[in-house]
Amino acid sequence: MVRPSLLLLAALFAVGFFALPAATADTLPGATVESLLAAAREGSPDLRMVRLEADAAAERVGPAGALPDPVFRLELENITRNGSQNPTLLPGRTGDTKYTLMQPLPFWGKRDLKREAAAAEADAARGKAGDAWAEIAGRIKALYAEYWLSSHTLDLIRENIDLTDRLERIAQARYAGGLAPQQDAIRAQVEKSSLEAEFVAMESERHHQMVFINAMLARPAKALLADPVALRTVPPAAILDPAALAERLQANNPQLAIESARINAAEKGRDLTYRNRYPDLTVGLVPMQVQNRVDSWSLMFEVAIPLQQGTRRAQEREAERMLEAAQARKEALGHRLLGDVAAAASNLEAARATERITATRQLPQAELAFKAALAGYETGKVDFATLLDAQKQIRGAKLSLIRSQAAQQARLAEIERLLGEDL
């Protein structure tokens, strides 16, 4: 039985935090991590931003390989007709009018390289969108694990408060019968007060986690969330094999995909720089109008003279170094990610081993010890301090069990963030 003081404190938290319109649990996200992820896909402004940036980058691909705009030039010659009239800018009244239509033509292959470079940049932008979602999803999964842990910790505290109430009644009965000192009952009351304070602190932490989750979903800070129901199933050890994870990371990690796209863009930029050794061509069509009739037609060709070869060679060396830097950056990133995923997998297995040991050995042993201590206290063979210690051992084992389960979920979230996909 939870004391009125605890109920009052919990009610005050609830009134302050949930002063919002009523909503049914079925319509609220939060019961499962999948519901939170679905809400994030729809409402995350960060995800929407990078997706729009990726769409914008895709729109740059076509124009990157397009021909430059043509140029039209109009020249009015002999605007006074050798001084026979006042100056005029009307084409039909001047001596000669030259029309020039020019089309720049980049050297063969330059347009394709520009388009391919833009396509690589678009791939990098899509990779950023994938990386952003991996980060958002990983954060939400980790927050859900914390949310689940705090909720189950609150349940455990309530359970221990009820158990302490029971022990207090036993101590009071033995004190009334002259079989135990009053100190036993007082000690039980002190323990219960400590648990109640811990309950309030954990309730506050749970509310903070709800605020963080709502922030990830672009919801109001005090918006309601459903109580967490269950954790995801952790994949078997075979799927978490380091070699298998390394292979999946190399194939699917969005950051590596970004770096691969940047390498591709750098390669196209280098090739374009080498093509800049050769000048572009401009072709023009020139009709000549004399008074009111076209008197002649001309063709024109314009080519830049590539004299600044030193500048071009410096640009080529720069492009080569930029490509090498992009390759080195991907290599360094790959090594770091492989280390991160191996560490996360190792930590997950450690948490799984902790859960197994706690569930199969530590918790059953603690329960047996408590039963023995309770029986011993009721018969006067064990003091109350030993009984409380036995109770704390059960609580510690149960807390270790749920913490190890939440830790597995956090490590799994980290692995999936690194892989860029769910396991």
Sites in the chain below the pLDDT cut of 50? 1-23
399, HSE (Cβ side, Cα atoms, 13 Å): 14
The pLDDT value given to residue 290: 81
Helices 254-275 and 242-252: crossing angle in degrees, nearest 10, is 40
The pair of structure tokens assigned to 90 is: 């009307």
pLDDT of residue 363: 93
CA angle 220, 222, 228 (to 5 degrees): 105
Instruction: Work out the percent of the chain whose per-residue pLDDT is above 70.
Output: 91
Q: Give me the sheet containing 71-77, strands edge to edge.
A: 71-77, 96-105, 281-290, 293-303
pLDDT in tens, 359-417: 999 999 999 999 999 989 888 888 888 989 999 999 999 999 999 999 999 999 999 99
**Cβ atoms within 10 A of the Cβ of 311, count?**
11
Confidence (pLDDT) at 277: 87
What is residue 26's DSSP assignment?
Answer: G
Residue ranges and CATH numbers for the domains of the chain are: 29-67+106-419 (1.20.1600.10)
Structure-derived torsion over alpha carbons of residues 392, 393, 399, 400, reported in degrees to the nearest 10: 150
Task: Tell me how many degrees the CA angle 413-226-20 measures, rounded to the nearest 5.
Answer: 130
Q: Residue 177's pLDDT is what?
A: 82
